[in-house]
Amino acid sequence: MRHIRYTFSHSSTDYYFAGGISNLKDIVDLQKTIFITDENIFNCYQKKFSNWDTLVIPSGEQYKVQATADRMIAQLLEKKADRKTTLIGIGGGVITDITGYVASIFMRGIRFGFIPTTLLAMVDASIGGKNGIDVGVFKNMVGIIRQPSFILHDLTFLNTLPVLEWQNGFAEIIKHASIKDAVLFKQLEESSIKKYQVRKKSLGELIERNVMLKSKLVKLDEFETGDRKLLNFGHTLGHALENLYKLSHGHAVSIGMSVAGLISEQRTGFKDSGRLIALLDKYGLPTAFEFDSKKVFEILKMDKKKAGNSMQYVLLNKIGKAVIKEIPIDNLEKWIESIASAR
C-alpha cells in the first residue's frame, strides 16, 4: 500500500493506494468506527463488513437527501456514536457525499474517511471535501466543504462494478483530461474501457493520475474562487439534466460536456469538439439528448454558478486548456436551444 499526505488549507488527507479494508486496523480504532454503505455494496461484500459496525442505507441518488441524513443521525445516536467516532463511507459518490455531510453536521463535526468503490468515486467524488445532499431537482444544493481525514483505495471492489458505472467514471476522467491534461486525453483516445479492465497496472496509474490532478486543483483553490471551478466542466447543464430526467451522473455530465464543447466553438474558437464527442462516444457515453429546454433553464437559473443575469460557464480553449466565461443567461438559453435542436 502506498501512502501520500495532501495538505489543504485547514487539514490534511491521507491517501492510501492499492490497499484493502484490512489496512484500516492501522488507521482507525475498530471500536470507535462506523461504516456507512449502501445495500448493493453490502450484499456483494458481506464478508468484508463482518467485524465492523455497519449502517446500511438504500442505494441510489434519490436517497442523497436530508430525510436519509436524518435517519442516519438517529441510527448513529442509537449506536451511541459520539465525538470520538469515525465514520467511513464505503461506496460510490452518493455514499461519500452523504457520509461526509452527516459526519460534518453530527455533533458539529466528527472524523470521517472514505473507501470509494466506484471508479467515479475513486477519481472524483471522494476527493476535495465537497459533501452534500440534493433538494428536489436541485443537485448538491445543501452541503459543506470539509476534507476527509483519509481515502483508501481497494481496487478489488471494481471487479463487481457494472459497465454503466465504468462509463460514468470515465466521464469524469475525460473531463479531467479535457480541462487540464492533453497527454491523458491522447492516452484515452488510444485505449478503451476493456483495455483498462484487463491491464490492472494501467488502470491503477490512470486512477492515481486523476486523483493527483483533482487534488492539485483543490489544494490551490479549496473554496472554489478560481481554478477549482474548471472541474465544473459539463456539470452546469449536466446537473440540471441529471435529476430532471433521472440520468446517471456520468451520462448527464457527458451530454453537458458535449454541449459545452459546441458552445466553446462559438465562444472561444475551440476546434476539437468533434474529438471530444468521439472520445465520449468511445467510452460508451451519450453526447446528445432530447430535453425540454424551458424546464432545464428553470433549474439552471437556480444554479450556484449563476450571478445576476449571467452565468460562469466552463469552456475549452483547446484540449487540456479550460477557461471560465461569463455568459448572459439569454445567450446561453439561445445557444443551448439551437444546439439541442440541431442534433
Ligand X SMILES: NC(=O)c1ccc[n+]([C@@H]2O[C@H](COP(=O)([O-])OP(=O)(O)OC[C@H]3O[C@@H](n4cnc5c(N)ncnc54)[C@H](O)[C@@H]3O)[C@@H](O)[C@H]2O)c1
Known catalytic residues are 108, 130, 172, 214, 224, 228, 232, 235, 239, 249
Query: Judged by CB under 6 A, does residue 91 bind ligand X?
Result: yes
Which of 149, 137, 12 shows the shortest CA–CA distance to 64? 137
Q: With contacts defined by CB under 6 A, name the span among 120-128, 197-205, 275-283, 297-305 that binds ligand X.
A: 120-128
Residue range at the interface with ligand X (CB under 6 A); choices 36-44, 197-205, 221-229, 296-304:
36-44
Contacting ligand X (CB under 6 A), which of 19, 89, 113, 128? 128
Q: Are the CB atoms for 173 and 165 separated by under 8 Å?
A: no
Kindly determine how many residues on this chain lie close enough to bind ligand X according to the rule CB under 6 A.
Answer: 29
Nearer to ligand X, 62 or 266 (CB): 62
**How far apart are alpha carbons 109 and 234 in whole angstroms?**
31
DSSP output for 141-182: EEEEE---SEEE--GGGGGG--HHHHHHHHHHHHHHHHHH-H
State how far the alpha carbon of 202 is from the alpha carbons of 184, 188, 198, in Å.
12, 11, 9
Question: Half-sphere exposure of residue 22, counting CA atoms within 13 Å on the CB side?
Answer: 4
Least distance CB 339 / ligand X (angstroms)? 24
Among the listed residues 34, 87, 97, 213, the single contact to ligand X using CB under 6 A: 97
Of these, 41, 81, 255, 263, which contacts ligand X (CB under 6 A)?
41
Which residues, numbered 149-168, are part of the site for ligand X (CB under 6 A)? 157, 160-161, 165, 168
Is beta strand 306-307 parallel, antiparallel or unpaired with respect to 310-318?
A: antiparallel
Q: How far apart are CA 76 and CA 105, in angstroms?
A: 12
Cα 1 to Cα 301: distance, rounded to the nearest angstrom: 45
Interface characters, 231-270, with ligand X (x: CB under 6 A): ------------------x---------------------
Q: How far is the CB of 178 from ligand X (least distance, A)?
A: 15
Q: Which of 79, 97, 81 is nearest to 89 (CA)?
A: 97
Main-chain phi, psi angles of 207, to 5 degrees: -65, -45
Q: Which of 175/267 has CB closer to ligand X?
A: 175
Contacts with ligand X in 286-325 (CB under 6 A)?
none
Cβ closest to ligand X, residue 88 vs residue 161: 161
CB of 263 to ligand X, least distance (A): 22
Interaction of residue 124 with ligand X, rule CB under 6 A: yes
Least distance CB 112 / ligand X (angstroms): 13
Euclidean distance between CA atoms 37 and 132, whole angstroms: 16
Does the protein bind ligand X through residue 284 (CB under 6 A)?
A: no
Pick the closest to residue 120 from 149, 96, 146 (CA basis): 96
- Radius of gyration in angstroms for the set of CA atoms belonging to the chain, rounded to a whole number: 20
Q: Which residues bind ligand X (CB under 6 A)?
A: 38, 40-41, 44, 59, 61, 64, 91-95, 97, 117-118, 120-121, 124-125, 128, 130, 139-140, 157, 160-161, 165, 168, 249
